[in-house]
Amino acid sequence: MPRTPDPVEDDLDTIPPPPPVFHVEQALLGALLLEPQRLASVTGIAADSFSTAAHAALFAAIRSLPAPDPAEHAKNTKWLDQVLAASRDEARGLSATYLHSLIEICPRPGHAPAYARMIEAEHSRRRLSAAAQRVMHTARDTSLPQRVATTLAEADALTAVVDDIATRFPPHSGSLPRTPAPSPATTHDEEAADEERLLLATATEHPSSVDQMRWLTSADFTHPLHAGLWQCLTALTRRSKPVDPVTVLWEAQHRGLLDAGAEPRQLLDLLAVPFGSAERWGERMLQRSVLGTAHHIGRCIEAFTEDPTATPYQLVVGSRRSLADLSSVRTRWQHATSPEPTKRPARTRATAAPRAGPPTTAPPAARISR
């Protein structure tokens, strides 16, 4: 007779098993419930270091209550009843049965410091993941009035988390993460392509602006052809060569841009429609580059945290390397948006008043009396 599926049983089958840190938390809590005096050797963690609300409530209750006398604790469950009552304020589903099962699960109460260190490591992973996700969310939030500033502030908060983890787990040599970094997101943003075309045409019309935009690089362009044309413009201005659509086309030919399928007439038409300010278009492109870089860094760090084989040391090293990419584009953004320093007028040396001295003319000759 065919088996009739049980909806409840089938739903339970889809629940993933708890991660290893769940069992580590059970072992630590069991050790502290069995031998409360071992709490003094547990450092580096707090209630929010635990992965479940029930475990967090139990740890908070254990820390809030005075440790019982070991001899009395071995005779009765009075202290355990106090822990259960205090923890139920935050986790009503806890029971005396679960507390006793935690005691039975703990293999070695003397290993409590090692269990705490494991919990600290996994909590660091969750903190890093949450900070990376905040950076990604902020970088994509178009409703923010100061999107770049807010994203960079979240990046600073992410850096602070990395530094704190490095203090707790100092990195050592040879601890690079083995996690493959996600490839950069490829977006076909027509608005970005239009702004790049306007920048190239306006900069060709006003080549003096190219030298003032050293903060913009070919990596800030979303279209490879546009990035190559920007390299042509910067090369011509650096060599003090004439700049116009024809000279840019000639430079593009030498750089192999026409081999990619771009037609000469197409490039001439692209460079012949200037509009607005090249610096303004460049700032918009650089802004998009800052946000895109921040989002990609968040994805990389999130990928590190999702790899269960990555140690805290590897998370620190990998995260710092990723954040270095944002530091570079951030510096260029500050150069682009900072007002130019006011030039002070050159100081002129005041002419000092002549000092009094002996007369420069000889005194009249004395008259000889006869």
pLDDT at 94 over 50: yes
* pLDDT at residue 15 in the model: 76
Q: pLDDT digits over 185-202, tens only? A: 666 678 899 999 999 999
**349 pLDDT above the threshold of 90:** no
Measured CA to CA, the distance from residue 258 to residue 96 in angstroms comes to 77
Copy the structure tokens of residue 108.
Answer: 């070695």
pLDDT tens, 213-237? 999 999 999 999 999 999 999 999 9
- pLDDT of 26 over the 50 cut: yes
Query: How far apart are alpha carbons 335 and 338 in whole angstroms?
Result: 6
**How large is the average pLDDT for residues 103-132?**
96
* Res. 342 pLDDT band, cuts 50 70 90: low
Average pLDDT (245-263) is 89
CA 296, CA 236: separation in Å to the nearest integer? 32
Give 368 or 237, the one with higher predicted confidence.
237
At residue 132, the pLDDT reads 97
**Of 172-176, 295-299, 301-305, 366-370, the least confident:** 366-370
- pLDDT for residue 360: 46
pLDDT in tens, 44-57: 999 999 999 999 99
Separation CA 83–CA 44 (nearest Å): 21
% pLDDT > 70, the chain: 85
> pLDDT confidence of 180, banded at 50, 70, 90?
confident
CA nearest 337: which of 131, 152, 89, 98? 152
pLDDT(10) > 60: no
pLDDT(347) > 80 = no
pLDDT at 185: 67
Whole-angstrom Cα distance, residue 301 to residue 319?
Answer: 6
Q: Mean pLDDT throughout 131-139?
A: 97
Please state the three-class secondary structure of the chain as a single string. Answer: CCCCCCHHHHHHHCCCCCCHHHHHHHHHHHHHHHCHHHHHHCCCCCHHHCCCHHHHHHHHHHHHCCCCCHHHHHHCCHHHHHHHHHHCCCCCCCCHHHHHHHHHHCCCHHHHHHHHHHHHHHHHHHHHHHHHHHHHHHHCCCCCCCHHHHHHHHHHHHHHHHHHHHHHCCCCCCCCCCCCCCCCCCCCCHHHHHHHHHHHHHHHHCCHHHHCCCCCCHHHCCCHHHHHHHHHHHHHHHCCCCCCHHHHHHHHHHCCHHHHCCCHHHHHHHCCCCCCCHHHHHHHHHHHHHHHHHHHHHHHHHHHHHCCCCCHHHHHHHHHHHHHHHHHHHHHHHHHHCCCCCCCCCCCCCCCCCCCCCCCCCCCCCCCCC
What pLDDT, on the 0 to 100 scale, is given for residue 362? 44
What value does the mean pLDDT of the chain take? 87
pLDDT of amino acid 368: 34
To the nearest 10°, report the CA torsion of 31, 33, 34, 35: 80
Give me the mean pLDDT over the 106-125 stretch: 96
Note the pLDDT of residue 11: 55
Domains of the chain and any CATH numbers = 18-107 (1.10.860), 120-177+288-337 (no CATH), 190-284 (1.10.860.10)
